[in-house]
Amino acid sequence: MEVLHLTNIDSAIGPLFLAASDRGLVALEFDARLPGQQSIRPNPRHLREEHHDVRFENASCSMQRYADELEEYFSGKRREFNFPLDLRGTDFQLACWRALLAIPYGETRTYADIARAVGKPNAFRAVGMANNRNPIAIVVPCHRVLASDGTLCGYGGGLDVKRKLLELEGALTGVLAA
2-74 carries CATH number 3.30.160: yes
The catalytic residue among 61, 96, 142, 153 is: 142
Torsion of CA 166, 167, 171, 172, to 10 degrees: 100
Predicted local distance difference test score (pLDDT) of residue 142: 96
Torsion of CA 15, 109, 175, 85, to 10 degrees: 10
DSSP letter, residue 175 = P
Classify 91-168 by CATH class.
Answer: mainly alpha
Cβ neighbors of 108 (< 8 A, separation 6 or more) are 144, 145, 146, 166, 171, 175
Calculate the alpha carbon distances from 43 to 46, 49, 55, 171 in Å: 5, 10, 12, 36
What backbone phi and psi angles, to 5 degrees, belong to 133?
A: -95, 0
Q: Catalytic: 96?
A: no
pLDDT in single tens digits along all 178 residues of the chain:
888 999 999 999 999 999 999 999 999 999 765 555 566 665 544 444 443 688 888 888 889 999 999 999 999 999 999 999 999 999 999 999 999 999 999 999 999 999 999 999 999 999 999 999 999 999 999 999 999 898 999 888 899 999 999 999 999 865 555 5
| 91-168 matches 2-74 in CATH topology | no
Predicted local distance difference test score (pLDDT) of residue 1: 87
Predicted local distance difference test score (pLDDT) of residue 45: 46
Q: What are the residue boundaries of the structural domains of the chain, listed by start?
A: 2-74, 91-168
